Amino acid sequence: MPSVAQRLTVVREKLAQAAWRSGREPEEITLVAVSKMHPASQIQEAINMGQQVFGESYLQEAVKKASVLPSHLRWHLIGHLQTNKIRGALGLFSLIHGVHSLALARNVDKIAGEKNVLPRLLLEVNISGETSKFGFTPGALEARMEELLSLQRVRIDGLMTVAPYTPDPESSRRLFSQLREYRDHLARKVGTPLGVLSMGMSGDYQVAIEEGATLVRVGGSIFGGRRAR
């Protein structure tokens, strides 16, 4: 079975190739190693290879890992943020993915003000229209964008989406292209760069990069199968 170091090397090589195909340098793409449900020992293997950005879905699990791993790491919250977890999340995560509603953004803004912090957020767009997924529809986000940008204690860095699972990564290309075009349109309309475009996971991150992703979330291709919680 390949080691974490070997898998990470392969992922980085594929990321670099996709970046070059899109006319960019690999350094322009942030690789988030999705470490949820993987032990700190495996994360340390990735750290030994220079990986510094990790994605977790559960606050308690992330806090436990952060307490035994180097303090310079950057932790991203990639799971659904529950209102009662906001206060703890703001103390650990450098970027919160998947802010899917104005109400959630307002709650984060309120607690950030109380804690005197300025968290970075990505707004989740349900570009595929799947009813099972969280996220703003493109129309709803456009209607609420001015209010979101008026929040004083959060920084909206960009957009993210999760494409439907498919064994053929090419099936996701159209959705990734649509999100990039929508991001560009929205950024022009509101006069804000929205520079982070998070899309693509283990099965389709190369296609996502080719279509403009600046951040990809890769778990299984680095760490292998997950342990049960």
In a domain, 204, yes or no: yes
- Structural domain count of the chain: 1
Q: Is the pLDDT of residue 136 over 60?
A: yes
| Distance separating alpha carbons of residues 122 and 49, to the nearest angstrom | 27
Please state, in angstroms and rounded to a whole number, the distance separating the CA atoms of residues 134 and 11.
28
Cα–Cα distances in angstroms (integers) from residue 134 to residues 116, 163, 171, in the given order: 28, 12, 20
CA-based R_g, the chain, Å = 17
Q: What is the pLDDT of residues 188-200, one digit of tens each?
A: 999 999 999 999 9
- State the residue range of the domain holding 165: 4-223
Name the pLDDT band for 225 (thresholds 50, 70, 90): confident
What residues does 74 pair with on adjacent strands? Answer: 53
In a domain, 228, yes or no: no
Q: Assess if residue 48 is contained within a domain.
A: yes
Q: Given pLDDT bands bounded at 50, 70 and 90, which one contains residue 133?
A: confident
Percent of the chain past pLDDT 70, that is, above it, reads 98
CATH code (residue 204): 3.20.20.10
pTM of the entire predicted model: 0.95
φ/ψ (deg, to 5) at 166: -150, 140
Provide the 10 A C-beta neighbour count for residue 95: 24
pLDDT at residue 229 in the model = 53
**Domain presence at residue 12:** yes
Q: What is the pLDDT of residue 134?
A: 87
Q: Is the pLDDT of residue 228 over 80?
A: no
Confidence category of residue 51, pLDDT binned at 50, 70, 90:
very high
Distance between start and end Cα atoms, the chain: 22
pLDDT at position 129: 82
**Taking 70 as the threshold, does the pLDDT of residue 181 lie above it?**
yes
Per-residue confidence band for 227, with pLDDT thresholds at 50, 70 and 90: low
User: Stretch 11-36: mean pLDDT, rounded?
Assistant: 98
Establish if 203 belongs to a structural domain.
yes
In a domain, residue 81? The reply is yes
Q: Residue 229: inside a domain, yes or no? A: no
The answer to whether residue 150 sits within a structural domain is yes
**Mean pLDDT (whole number) for 70-85:** 96
> What pLDDT is stored for residue 37 in this prediction?
95
Mean pLDDT over all residues of the chain?
A: 96
